[in-house]
A and B are shown apart, each in its own frame.
Chain A
Amino acid sequence: MAEPAGGGPRPAEGLGRVLVAVYAVFALAAGARAAVQLSTRFSEAPVAYLLSALAAVVYVVATVGLARGGRAGRRTALVACAVELTGVLVVGVLSLADRAAFPDETVWSGFGQGYGYVPLVLPVLGLLYLRAQGRPPRATA
């Protein structure tokens, strides 16, 4: 798919918009969860709850990056998806290995099993989508 002339941002459409919708739902879910956890019982598990907040921020950034499109949007989304994939893998392993550090669920606990493992699949889909979007338009001779 070609960028418009001038290379300005092209907002997500088609399948990209579906991806944005899923990311927006997770931004909402993770954001609400982190807000509740941080405001009502931060001292119980500061590490887990700060990770919850980080996850929320990452989802918001990825949503905005994917929705805006263009070079800058894609690059922003790329970083967010990479952090997200790293986060879900690291937190997934840690939450299984060290239950004491994660007494309460975060979006990324157990590789996102509380959310049907969507948090594990989502960054991969995001990265695949970004790779497809980043390809130069087919040369038409």
Chain B
Amino acid sequence: MIRLENVTKVFPGGSGPAVHQLSLDVAEGEIVVLVGPSGCGKTTTLKMINRLVEPTSGRITVAGEDIMAIPAHELRRRVGYVIQQIGLFPHRTIAENIATVPRLLGWERTRIDDRVGELIRLVDLEPGMRNRYPRELSGGQRQRAGVARALAADPPVMLMDEPFGAVDPIVRGRLQDELLDLQRRVHKTIVFVTHDIDEAIKLGDRVAILNIGGIVEQYAPPAVILRDPANAFVKAFLGSHRGIKRLSLIPVGEVPLEDGPMVDRSATARDARACMDRYGVDWFGILDGKELVGWAWASDLDGDSLAHIDPKPFEARVSLDASLREALDTIITSRTRVAPVFDGGRFVGTITAEGISRELAK
């Protein structure tokens, strides 16, 4: 969808090229995150795609068209653009701000009105915000309005330059989740710039790690980068908690689950003890057919049958599509040291810290 071929940018008076011979392919419908230290040319690269910065040499195509062959203002109306400071027009209401590109494109009034209403719902702003001025909104609301404005004319491509850099961490996390959720519905091709590796890992289908001078050190899905960093620079940039970061990227469903020390309600105390010995634990789970009803300590056993035992419920449980990070959190905070895994409402097995670490070590 977007292709950069040997793109170089030299700013007059700059000590060296800001971007040097950069090539990058962005497939339709994916989020590609450009990440790197300041001076790595990530913002320059982004701005070359909508010609806010003109490349010195090389070729950039969007949907197969050479961008230099399209008048800059027309290209920009086809490419959504969100920046960190948002840049909402203070003298226009939220509705007017969102309507910017449709108005530039000369849409009819009723069509613009409908589209604005649709977008306000899409980005989860209250309809009452329509006629407010930007200064009357909170930072998070303004950011949503900025995203709505960029989406207004339904551009196939979105460029986002540290869009969540200026909001506090809690709002940032929420806006990131919203972006991912939005992307599932709108399927844009998004190029996203950040200096925050965690944001890159969370949002990117693929991440390009850039070094000073616009050199791509590695371009791969975040799980691959974390598992196999291409070189010392990437390793250093990823920081010291690579294993922990990978946890967020791997869903529980990808790890082989264990049965766990589970016995049926109808089993005997001897069966339960044998089962606990096998797993080397001092508790056991109780199943009723296929359903998980709870667990009990070894010391709760009294007599031959389990009938008198009142099973304690598993308070935390994880679903198959939860991340290993959530699973690990469940494990380390539960007394049984396992997380029961559910597929919808159905119990499918358990996951343990050992299982997770085996997976990461693969």
- Do A and B assemble together? no
Query: Could you tell me which B residues sit within 8 Å of A by CB distance?
Result: none
Query: Could you tell me which A residues sit within 8 Å of B by CB distance?
Result: none
